[in-house]
Chain A
Amino acid sequence: MMPKNSEHTVSAFDDDIGELRALVSEMGGLAETAIGDAIHALIRHDLETASRIVEEDSRIDELESEVERLAVRLIALRAPMANDLREAVAAIKIATVLERIGDYAKNIAKRVPIFDHRTDIEPLSILPSMAQIVQEMVHNVLDAFAARDAEVAKQVIERDSAVDDFYDSLFRALLTYMMENSHNITQSTHLLFIAKNLERVGDHATNIAEMVYFAATGDYLDDRLVGEPPVPEAGETEE
């Protein structure tokens, strides 16, 4: 019943590339779900989901090393050329970035218990809309990766500025909020870190988009399109 696939001469090579891409996609699925779940857990104060996300992050780490191993073996044994080589290199880089995204999700999940059930931080209501855009970016860039669609990848990059805008406005809102009442400072700072994490996820989605674009076309995207990073504010640290 299965039609015999006879388009390729060295089908083992195609199998390897296919497996590599499948692993990256699986990682992507995990990372994407982790980000979505982390935000849900934060808003609903769902400690159970939060601890599950922290546990499941190890699966993403495992997959990352699997991708690396497979890609290195592929390059060493089969000496791929041109777009196949690009594909293998992109897979390694994307896997690294996805692992970071998983870490950010874990970071957000770890902060869930800090927010009390009754906490009513006004700026918290901005977070879901910001998370929504970030999630869509990750989702779309993974779709672009699966379809090798450079156009969709470009669209993802264009959305990053919206995330930065969200971050800036949240930053200001939280600053005002902290100034109003010093009791709020602890929670607001954690919220600020969460926003920062989301902003970084957005940046990473942009990175993946650049790699998808590179793997698909062989060209690097124009730097102007990628856009300026947001102005670093005082006290901001990379996580």
Chain B
Amino acid sequence: MPQITPLRAIVALLTTFGLGYVAYTLGAEPLPVILACIGGLAGGIALGSSGNPNAVPSEPASPEPPPISDESLFPTLEELMNAIDDPSLIIVGRRVVRANPSALNLLGTHIIGEDVRLAIRHPAAAERLTGEAGAEESRVAMELVGIGELERPWELIIHELKGNARFIRLADRSSAHAAEKMRADFVANASHELRTPLASLLGYIETLQDGAAKDKKTRNRFLEIMHGEASRMQRLIGDLMSLSRIEAEKYRAPADDIDLGPLIEEACRATCTESGFDSTSVEIRPETGDVHIAGDRVQVTQLISNLVGNALKYGKGADPVVVGYGSISETMVRITVQDHGEGIAPEHLPRLTERFYRIDPGRSRSLGGTGLGLAIVKHIVERHRGRLNIESEVGSGTKVSVDLPKKPSAMSSSRNENVTKAGTPSLVATRDSR
């Protein structure tokens, strides 16, 4: 008979108290719970003293609590399996005997009772899953790609259980891979975005060289298109450069004293002229008196111009875009840009500030978008230790609000702390409440 160490006794105690707790959380009456705990205590003491072998549970290698009178308090294996969010299986030998709902969802409902290789047919896993049980390690983890869906990364974790059983859990690794992929995608996207206008420019130039230049009408039309493509490239390069500049200065807080009113007015006027809109298509509504912020003049101008530009492009144009600003607290100023366009569906909101993310790629390009506007806004807001919030309702429009810290009149450390805490921008989707 194996030795009973004090450690083992403590484990037994903890196990039984744990069971008591589980029973409690399952909504049991307090009395049986207390009884269960006392039962555990008794078992633990019996184990610790090791005097009477009859008092010790039959399998000391894995200390089991002594029987509790009311077994209905225990969660069933099925309940436990269902409580695991990751796809999980129990296999005995090679056969799948239990699978939780997310496993059935991922691998198909047919897998129970089948050979595990029919459920998970990845070659790397097959070896581990079908090998002899009781291998040297009790926990094996491996990275797999393409279970359920093609190209989806998973971590497969195998726990050897007693007998010939194994517990298998699949942990989703998509998010870890996503960050890496995003960086690679960025370079690919950026070069692709640049290559498209370049290719069409070259095409037009070649056509002109082939003789189309003789016809004045064609030539002018071509030149106009070429001008458009070239300016698109210019805009894109400009956007890329400002993005990298903002990122480089990320940790240096901006310090210009900006009077927000005149700056907003000027930025709106410039944006309207640039994108060919009447200056009446933007309405500026100051909500409080003049407000000063600590910011980078160029960047704040760009922020407003990007937001207003978006609102003009995607708003219907009938109602003016409303730009409001005013102080909302001792330390913060809020700028809002609201359009009355078609709005954005909630599933797009979290991804709007991703680089080159477009809800409708064709439309965005035809309107001259680079796909970087909101990414730049996000970075500017982050650098200013502010907050970005996008609310949108399909059919009635989008409202973007930016909270920026005020210029501190006197240095006060607690205020500064408040300001710097606002970290990543948050996005909120408002749905119809019916």
Instruction: Spell out A's residues near B (CB within 8 Å).
Output: 1-3, 5, 18-19, 21-23, 25-26, 28-30, 32-33, 36, 56, 59, 132, 135-136, 139, 142-143, 146-148
B122 neighbours in A (Cβ, 8 Å) = 29, 33
Report the nearest A residue to B148, measured CB to CB: A143
Partner of B146, one of A22, A33, A132: A33
**Hey, which chain B residues are within 8 Å of A1, CB to CB?**
77, 92, 163, 165
Q: Is the CB–CB distance between A25 and B97 below 8 Å?
A: no
Task: Write out the residue numbers on chain A whose beta carbons fall within 8 Å of the beta carbon of B55.
Answer: none
Q: Is B118 an interface residue (CB 8 A)?
A: yes
**Residue B262 at the chain A interface, CB threshold 8 Å:** no
A25 to B121, CA, bound (A): 6
Q: With A1-B77, A1-B163, A135-B150 in contact, is A33–B113 under 8 Å at CB?
A: no
Given A22-B94, A29-B117: A148 and B163 interface contact (C-beta under 8 Å):
no
Closest CB in chain A relative to B71 CB, distance in Å: 15
Min Cβ gap A147→B in Å is 5
A26 contact from B97, B113, B123, Cβ within 8 A: B123
A22 to B125, CA, bound (A): 13
B-side contacts of A21, CB under 8 Å: 114-115, 118
Check A147 against B108 for contact (C-beta < 8 Å): yes
Q: How far is the CA of A1 from the CA of B81 in the complex (A)?
A: 14
User: Is the beta-carbon distance between B150 and A5 smaller than 8 angstroms?
Assistant: no
A36 to B113 Cα, complex, angstroms: 29
**A5 / chain B contacts, CB cutoff of 8 Å:** 113
The reply to whether B108 and A29 form a contact with Cβ atoms under 8 Å apart is no
Contacts A/B (CB < 8 Å), 11 sampled? A2-B92, A18-B115, A22-B117, A25-B121, A26-B117, A28-B121, A36-B146, A56-B123, A146-B111, A146-B114, A147-B108
Q: How many A-B residue pairs have CB under 8 A?
A: 67
Q: Is there an interface contact between A148 and B123, defined as CB atoms closer than 8 Å?
A: no
Q: Which of A3, A25, A32, A59 has the most CB of B within 10 A?
A: A25
Contacts of A26 in B (CB 8 A): 117, 121, 123, 126
* 8 A Cβ contacts from B212-228 to A: none
In the bound complex, do residue B114 and residue A18 qualify as a contact, i.e. CB atoms below 8 Å apart?
yes
> Is B110 engaged at the interface, CB distance under 8 Å to the other chain?
yes
Report how far A33 CA is from B77 CA in the complex, Å.
Answer: 34
List chain B residues, Cβ under 8 A from A18.
Answer: 95, 114-115, 118
Cβ of B303 within 8 Å of any chain A Cβ, yes or no, is no
Instruction: Give chain B residues whose Cβ lies under 8 Å from the Cβ of A30.
Output: 123
The complex places the Cα of A30 from the Cα of B120 at a distance, in Å, of: 12
3 nearest A-B pairs in the assembled complex, by CB-CB distance: A29-B121, A22-B115, A22-B117
Please determine whether A25 and B117 come into contact, CB atoms closer than 8 angstroms: yes
Chain A residues near B109: list those with CB within 8 A.
147
Smallest beta-carbon distance A127→chain B, Å: 16
B119 at the interface (CB under 8 A from A): yes
- The answer for the CA separation of A36 and B153 in the assembled complex, in Å, is 14
Across the interface, do A143 and B97 meet the contact criterion of CB distance under 8 Å? no
Closest Cβ of chain A to B144, distance in Å, is 10
Judging by beta carbons under 8 Å apart, are A19 and B123 in contact?
A: no
A7 to B, closest residue via Cβ: B113
Does B150 lie within 8 Å of A146, measured CB to CB?
no
- In the complex, are the beta carbons of B108 and A146 less than 8 A apart? yes
**Which residues of chain B come closer than 8 Å to A139, judged between CB atoms?**
146, 150
Option from B97, B111, B118 in Cβ contact (under 8 Å) with A2: B97
Q: Name the residue of chain A whose CB is nearest to the CB of B127.
A: A26
A3/B97 in contact, CB under 8 A: yes
Q: Would A148 and B110 count as touching, CB distance under 8 A?
A: yes
CB within 8 Å for A2 and B121 given contacts A135-B150, A139-B146: no
Q: How far is the CB of A232 from chain B (nearest CB, A)?
A: 30
A43 to B: closest C-beta gap in Å: 12
Give Cα A3–Cα B119 distance, bound, in whole angstroms.
Answer: 19
List residues of B (144-167) whose CB comes within 8 Å of A's CBs. Answer: 146, 150, 163, 165
A184 to chain B, nearest CB (A): 19
Q: What's the nearest-Cβ distance from chain A to residue B342, in Å?
A: 31
Q: Is the Cβ of A146 less than 8 Å from the Cβ of B119?
A: yes
Closest chain A residue, CB of each to CB of B95: A18
Q: How far is the CB of A231 from chain B (nearest CB, A)?
A: 29
Further pairs besides A26-B121, A147-B108: 14, Cβ < 8 Å: A1-B165, A2-B97, A2-B163, A22-B114, A22-B115, A23-B117, A25-B117, A29-B121, A30-B123, A33-B122, A33-B146, A143-B108, A146-B121, A148-B110
